[in-house]
Homo-oligomer: A and B are copies of this chain.
């Protein structure tokens, strides 16, 4: 069994890593850290994980053979660096190793990157787009939850040259996406029975989306407007993506064009274990607790626009499940190992 460690286990992402690793047949979680909970059993922070018999410590045990970090940005890179330097495989769930451009990082995150030299060797951990690199990487920057949904919804169309660079991403996330830290917006009385847009000045997940979609096609860089929304539910992200189809991209009448779009999507994801092109518009509930991304492309025949909708569980495919998928590749395990459960419904 490979020994795994989780930094900042007391977050929702950290707890979800524990849940997923608990049944992984080749990995044993041996060390978990957390700031305020250090020195206490994990069961004090998360009673439902009490039987794991783990004690939260301040630092990861040196013996771990793979590291997951669920710390916020900047703090995460700092705690990962010793392991990175020793060549221990690291999957970082923060934003620290996602953007390839350190200056873009400092623009969006307001701090200098703690380890710009490591960006060259880090890989963006959206497995479907970077599978081969991840398999040989020692450092993976696990994607943000919104970019996961949006990029998977748009990648086939982008790669096939179907769409103009003008893109709208309307993201709808469950409240767990904001983490376990307290804040008035996440207070039950405020978030429940409410929906609102936020980060209208620009959300930090935007540059990731642009970076990854730009990679898929030549031509002008995508011009994305991304507006995230808070939805009164625990888990799930629905990404509704809008783009104009290139006039010459598709031949035939409306039905033929729609059929062709679906073919392109189905071809793109044909061998993917965790992405399905769904027959009906996807619901976030259909991905609850699992590493699935459901993608549904359609064409608004009145306006000639592509509408592509995707559904994920923000804590699984949008975080911890994606991280385990990446770990499997990095350690040479089958990609789906430990990730084959069915969704919890309802």
CA distance A22 to B339 in the complex (A): 12
A180-B187, A187-B182, A224-B303 are known contacts. Are A280 and B47 too (CB-CB below 8 A)?
Answer: yes
Q: Given A187-B187, A235-B346, A281-B197, A341 and B192 touching (CB < 8 A)?
A: no
A242 neighbours in B (Cβ, 8 Å): 168, 170, 225, 227, 242
> How distant is A52 from chain B, measured CB to nearest CB, in Å?
7
Name the B residues within 8 Å of A120 (CB-CB): none
Q: Is the interface of A mostly helix, strand, loop or mixed?
A: mixed
Contacts of A294 in B (CB 8 A): 47
Q: Check A234 for interface membership: any CB of B closer than 8 A.
A: yes
The minimal Cβ–Cβ distance linking A196 to chain B, given in whole angstroms, is: 4
The reply to whether the CB of A278 lies closer than 8 angstroms to some CB of chain B is yes
Q: Is A232 an interface residue (CB 8 A)?
A: yes
Contact present for A234 and B303 (CB under 8 Å):
no
Shortest distance between the CB of A238 and any CB in chain B (Å): 5
Count of A residues near B, CB < 8 Å? 89
Q: Is the CB of B232 within 8 A of A289?
A: no
CB A148 to nearest CB in B, in angstroms, measures 16
Counting CB contacts under 8 A, is A342 at the interface?
yes
Render A174-203 as a binary contact track against B, CB cut-off 8 A, 1 for contact: 111000101110111111111111101110
Binds B, one of A12-20, A63-71, A126-134: A12-20
**A49 & B195 in contact (Cβ 8 Å cutoff):** no
Contact B186 A187 (CB under 8 A): yes
A194 to B276 Cα, complex, angstroms: 18
Partner of A238, one of B196, B284, B346: B196
**A288 B19 Cβ-Cβ under 8 A:** no
In the complex the two chains form, what is the Cα distance from A345 to B16 in whole Å?
7
- For residue A18, which residues in chain B have a CB less than 8 angstroms away from its CB? 342
How many copies of this protein are present in the complex?
Answer: 4
In the assembled complex, A231 has its CB within 8 A of some CB on chain B: yes
CA–CA, A180 to B189, complex, Å? Answer: 7
Tell me which of A188, A201, A289 has the highest count of chain B C-beta atoms within 10 A of its own C-beta.
Answer: A188
CB distance from A249 to the nearest CB of B (A): 17
Interface string of A50-87 (1 = CB under 8 A from B): 11100000000000000000000000000000000000
Q: Is the CB of A283 within 8 A of B344?
A: no
- Encoded as 1 (CB less than 8 Å from any B CB) or 0, chain A from 92 to 126 comes to 00000000000000000000000000000000000
Near B by CB (< 8 A), chain A positions 228-242 give 229, 231-236, 238, 240, 242
Please give, as numbers and ranges, the residues of chain B lying within 8 Å of A3 by CB-CB distance. Answer: none
Once the chains are docked, how many angstroms separate the CA of A13 from the CA of B224?
38
User: With A and B bound together, what is the CA distance between A74 and B50 in angstroms?
Assistant: 39
A40 interfacial by beta-carbon distance below 8 Å: no
In addition to A175-B192, A189-B346, A197-B309, 15 A-B residue pairs with Cβ atoms within 8 Å of each other are A19-B343, A23-B341, A47-B282, A168-B168, A172-B229, A175-B189, A180-B184, A188-B232, A193-B234, A194-B283, A195-B283, A196-B283, A201-B298, A225-B307, A231-B231
Contact sample, A vs B, 13 pairs, CB 8 Å cutoff: A22-B341, A46-B345, A48-B287, A49-B342, A166-B244, A166-B303, A168-B305, A188-B192, A190-B346, A192-B233, A195-B284, A196-B284, A225-B302
